[in-house]
């Protein structure tokens, strides 16, 4: 006589599927760029925080890097500040830079820390000037002056290494040698930070399902590709301006030694866990 089946078997199957990945990635650092739709609703915020807490509790070392573009734009509109983008980068004058620091460091960062703590993992918020974490320099563009938009000059990860018991939550603001703050694209920061920390994975949450061979064709989603394939796709001109910084960060991370990068749909609840701990995943995995 065969043993009776229960409604719990599918749940056990999920756990068993995750087991080899939990074993493989225990002790490994994973840098997650958090942004877009995943930050817009209470349900998705709570889902993301629980994902991060679970990663921490099973022995991984998650590090969150966040932007906050929609909130910055919303407060800019309220204050009558111009909102303008060049190649996916926000043009940042002095008043906007002040607003960026207030929103990213003073508001969003603390909200994420609270969410992760509530989900069961201790977290701590940081910006680029904390412990000299992110040294910035002024970014340039052939399309005009970007103001206080910065690029990553260097990363000093020592402050993160001393916070090994916590989940670091890093706002994408850097400072130069003179103490001037710069607004840095969060995808770019995540890629550089993943390299500096020797991360096993860099995960970029987006508002699309992943990378497409033709971004106008929803059936052309790529589940996995190599770095040279991504370079060819970017060179083809098929990538929209908003995806350029994100895919550029993927390229930078892989070229700097990060083994794997993932483009993941942040609109899907628990997309981080699905991508890491299941065979099929939920986005696009890019390997070097």
Per-residue pLDDT tens for 224-233?
999 999 998 8
pLDDT computed for residue 193 by the predictor = 96
Between residues 117 and 144, the one the model is more confident about: 117
pLDDT computed for residue 155 by the predictor = 97
Confirm if 112 and 170 have CB atoms less than 8 A apart. Answer: no
- For the stretch 25-81, pLDDT in tens is 999 999 999 988 889 889 999 999 999 999 999 999 999 999 888 899 999 999 999
For all residues of the chain together, what is the average pLDDT? 90
pLDDT computed for residue 238 by the predictor = 74
pLDDT computed for residue 59 by the predictor = 96
Q: How far apart, in Å, do the first and last CA atoms of the chain sit?
A: 51
- pLDDT classification of 5: cutoffs 50, 70, 90: low
CA dihedral 216, 222, 227, 233 (to 10 degrees): -20
pLDDT computed for residue 169 by the predictor = 98
DSSP 3: P
Nearest Cα residue to 66 out of 110, 118, 122, 120: 110
Q: Flag whether pLDDT at 287 surpasses 90.
A: yes
- For the stretch 188-227, pLDDT in tens is 999 999 999 999 999 999 888 888 887 778 788 898 999 9
Q: Flag whether pLDDT at 281 surpasses 90.
A: no
- pLDDT classification of 143: cutoffs 50, 70, 90: confident
**Measured between alpha carbons, how far is residue 220 from residues 211, 214, 217, 223 in Å?**
8, 6, 6, 10
pTM of the model: 0.91
Nearest Cα residue to 136 out of 144, 145, 127: 127
Q: Could you tell me which CATH number the domain at 28-287 has?
A: 3.40.1160.10
- pLDDT classification of 280: cutoffs 50, 70, 90: confident
């Amino acid at each position: 006589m065969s043993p009776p089946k229960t409604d719990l078997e599918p749940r056990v199957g999920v756990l068993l599927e995750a087991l080899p990945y939990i074993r493989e990635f225990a002790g490994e650092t994973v840098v997650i760029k958090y942004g877009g739709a995943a930050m817009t609703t209470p349900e998705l915020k709570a889902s993301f925080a629980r994902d991060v807490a679970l990663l921490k509790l099973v022995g991984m070392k998650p590090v969150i890097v966040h932007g906050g573009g929609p909130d910055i734009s919303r407060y800019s509109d309220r204050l009558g500040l111009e909102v303008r983008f060049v190649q996916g980068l926000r043009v940042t004058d002095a008043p906007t830079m002040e607003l960026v620091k207030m929103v990213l460091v003073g508001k969003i960062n603390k909200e994420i820390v609270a969410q992760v703590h509530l989900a069961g993992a201790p977290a701590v918020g940081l910006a680029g000037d904390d412990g000299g974490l992110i040294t910035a320099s002024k970014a340039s563009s052939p399309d005009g002056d970007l103001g206080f938009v910065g690029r990553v000059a260097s990363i000093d990860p020592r402050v993160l290494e001393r916070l090994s018991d916590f989940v670091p939550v890093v706002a994408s603001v850097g400072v130069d040698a003179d103490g001037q703050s710069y607004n840095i694209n969060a995808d770019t920061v995540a890629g550089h930070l993943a390299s500096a920390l020797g991360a096993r994975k860099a995960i970029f949450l987006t508002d699309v399902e992943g990378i497409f061979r033709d971004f106008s064709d929803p059936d052309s989603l790529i589940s996995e590709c190599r770095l040279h394939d991504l370079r060819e796709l970017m060179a083809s001109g098929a990538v929209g301006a908003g995806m350029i910084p994100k895919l550029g960060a993927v390229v930078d991370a892989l070229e700097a030694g990060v083994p794997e990068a993932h483009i993941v749909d942040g609109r899907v609840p628990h997309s981080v866990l699905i991508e890491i701990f299941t065979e099929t995943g939920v986005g696009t995995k890019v390997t070097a």
